[in-house]
Chains A and B, each alone.
Chain A
Amino acid sequence: MGGKILYDLQDVSYAYEEGRPVLDGISLTIDIGEKVVLLGANGSGKSTLQRILDGLIFPQQGTVRFAGKELTEENLEDEDFFLAFRRRVGFVFQNSEAQLFNPSVREELAFGPLQLGLSAAEVNARVDSLLELFELEDLADRPPHKLSGGERKKVALGAVLASNPEVLILDEPTAGLDPRSQRWLVEMLVKLNQAGKTIITATHDLAIVPVIADRVFVLGEDHRLAGEGSPLEVLADRELLLRVNLIDEAFHEHHHQGYFHLHAH
């Protein structure tokens, strides 16, 4: 907290179709080394916001600054800017099916480093150490379409980490994973954050929020920023969570106990 500002968004709005904004007047800042969560119901605009943070789409209104430089389509046309930015920011898509486009796990992991222009030896060394870290050695030559959901997510994360980015953006990383894989992933994210990476996770899974967030931004169904605060503040604010439709009246009685203790170490 209070560190150097990495992302600075001012009054950002985005619409896929004219007249139907998916993000409406979002202003927020994210510091270097921070771990933040974008919390919101399905369709509130989390993925869209992350795509803006990764410079894949560009807002019609407002400005996005990354490390003081404005992120615009024009700036990203610049070769040096493009490479430096891509090198620093990694994005794990929600749909690993789209993300894993190489014919084998090994090549998937090698794709990023190769684009960076590393030598073959360096690339191989990186790939091998990632395979080991993620316990993927046995799957190295498998095509991605023959992996399970959990394995696929691991490979997707590994593929992004392979270029050693400084910022990790993850879109609903735990969706569809079994409890063990979820736990593995969350612990890995914490470890990466402790190593200095900035982690930006979009999720509607309240259970993992306290572990992977220093700060939480809540997106409402009106596509505006509905709230902001520490995980404990946000999760305790039942009023807010109800308003953005993340929980309903029945939620408290049924689930309260389990949720807040699941990941307390």
Chain B
Amino acid sequence: MHIPDGYLSPQTCAVLGAAMVPVWGTAARKVKATLKARQAPLLAIGAAFSFTIMMYNIPIPDGTTAHATGGALLAILLGPWAAAIGISIALAIQALFFGDGGILAFGANAFNMAFILPFASYYIYRLLSGRTGLRSGWRAVAAAIAGFVGLNLAALAAAVEFGLQPLLFHTASGVPLYSPYPLALAVPAMALAHVLIAGPAEGIVTGLVIRYLQRVNSGLLRVYPATGAVVAAQATGDGASLKKLAWGLVILVLLSPLGLLAAGTAWGEWSPEDLQQILGFVPPGLARLATTWTHALFPDYTVPGLEGSFWAQALGYIITAMVGLGIIFLIFLAFNRLLARPGKTGADYHGK
């Protein structure tokens, strides 16, 4: 899932990179509040761990092997914010020093694997494990499911990024400039690969290690959420950080038309008819899904009276982005609510 350079337009990479800025900022602040000076070594070693785990070949049920990211595991153990930084750093090192994943595409890769993956996995794990004991067998299963689902959601994000490329960026004669597959093809193709191969690898790694730690080293399962004092500190910080995150998202939404500027005329020429053509030869079931998706997001954006003008399109882009981000935000809010119910967990753990 490490997207190399060239598959995504620089505009897409810039937008996703900008999306990561508030995430990184909030993560740095949160982690600093909880870990203080301890943060650098802990995060560094988390990142090094994630990097090393990506080197492991995991045997998967079909008899071959696959790589896992270790991101879900890191999120469950150190919390999603610390994991976001740790994985980002592992990805940066892979891109910069080992040519694994693009340098410009770093923002996109970070968005998928260092944002979607750890947050989705963490909240799924918390939701599934509920009030079960730290050593309950169900927790390992919950971790495996969280790893599997989290990775597939990250893959879905990547698929959407791929799938938007031919719609947004092609020449006047229809030559795709970047990844050529529309959503209707990119999503099922990525889904297949990740449901069958990468997802199981991630699930296996997450579940196995959690089960191992339950037996051998349950102290590591108590690292996050941290002590009562820290939880309190987090609680007071929460309002501010949510505000910051919200501001970041607003800026992001306002920035999104930048993608348009460079997309130039290609964007303007694009019409629902083109869409029909592109989507013409896929299973109708999927096509319906795809068209509802694309219709909901794209063709209806023009504001009456402003059709065709650049500003109309920019506005459309902003509205689209707002809807998309709004959905993500609501999902996380819902999770937060659901998780807040069981009360302040973990406050009684952790000695000196």
CB interface residues, B 11-25, toward A, < 8 Å: none
Spell out A's residues near B (CB within 8 Å).
17-18, 57, 60, 101
Category for how many chain B residues contact A: under 10
CA–CA, A101 and B42, complex, Å: 13
B351: chain A residues at CB < 8 Å are: 17-18
5 closest residue pairs by CB, A with B = A18-B351, A17-B351, A101-B41, A60-B352, A57-B352
CA–CA, A57 and B351, complex, Å: 13
B231-246 interface bits toward A, Cβ cutoff 8 Å, 1 = contact, 0 = none: 0000000000000000
Closest Cβ–Cβ distance, residue B42 to chain A (whole Å): 13
**Inter-chain residue pair count (beta carbon < 8 A):** 5
CA–CA, A242 and B41, complex, Å: 41
Query: Does more than half of chain A's interface fall in helix, strand or loop, or is it mixed?
Result: loop
A17: chain B residues at CB < 8 Å are: 351
| Closest chain A residue, CB of each to CB of B44 | A101
Spell out B's residues near A (CB within 8 Å).
41, 351-352
- Some 5 contacts from A to B, beta carbons below 8 A apart, are A17-B351, A18-B351, A57-B352, A60-B352, A101-B41
| Closest chain B residue, CB of each to CB of A58 | B352
CA–CA, A17 and B352, complex, Å: 9
B41: chain A residues at CB < 8 Å are: 101
B352: chain A residues at CB < 8 Å are: 57, 60
A57: chain B residues at CB < 8 Å are: 352
CA–CA, A60 and B351, complex, Å: 12
Closest Cβ–Cβ distance, residue B217 to chain A (whole Å): 14
CA–CA, A17 and B351, complex, Å: 8
CA–CA, A217 and B261, complex, Å: 75
A60: chain B residues at CB < 8 Å are: 352
CA–CA, A57 and B352, complex, Å: 9
| Closest chain A residue, CB of each to CB of B41 | A101
CA–CA, A18 and B41, complex, Å: 26
Closest Cβ–Cβ distance, residue A105 to chain B (whole Å): 19
| Closest chain B residue, CB of each to CB of A101 | B41
CA–CA, A57 and B41, complex, Å: 17
CA–CA, A60 and B41, complex, Å: 25
Closest Cβ–Cβ distance, residue A259 to chain B (whole Å): 39
CA–CA, A26 and B351, complex, Å: 22
CA–CA, A18 and B351, complex, Å: 9
| Closest chain A residue, CB of each to CB of B219 | A17
CA–CA, A128 and B352, complex, Å: 40
Closest Cβ–Cβ distance, residue B14 to chain A (whole Å): 30
Closest Cβ–Cβ distance, residue B323 to chain A (whole Å): 45
Closest Cβ–Cβ distance, residue B45 to chain A (whole Å): 10
Closest Cβ–Cβ distance, residue B283 to chain A (whole Å): 53
Closest Cβ–Cβ distance, residue B339 to chain A (whole Å): 30
Closest Cβ–Cβ distance, residue B132 to chain A (whole Å): 25
A101: chain B residues at CB < 8 Å are: 41
CA–CA, A81 and B193, complex, Å: 58
CA–CA, A107 and B238, complex, Å: 38
CA–CA, A70 and B351, complex, Å: 23
A18: chain B residues at CB < 8 Å are: 351
CA–CA, A164 and B86, complex, Å: 34
CA–CA, A96 and B352, complex, Å: 25
CA–CA, A101 and B41, complex, Å: 9
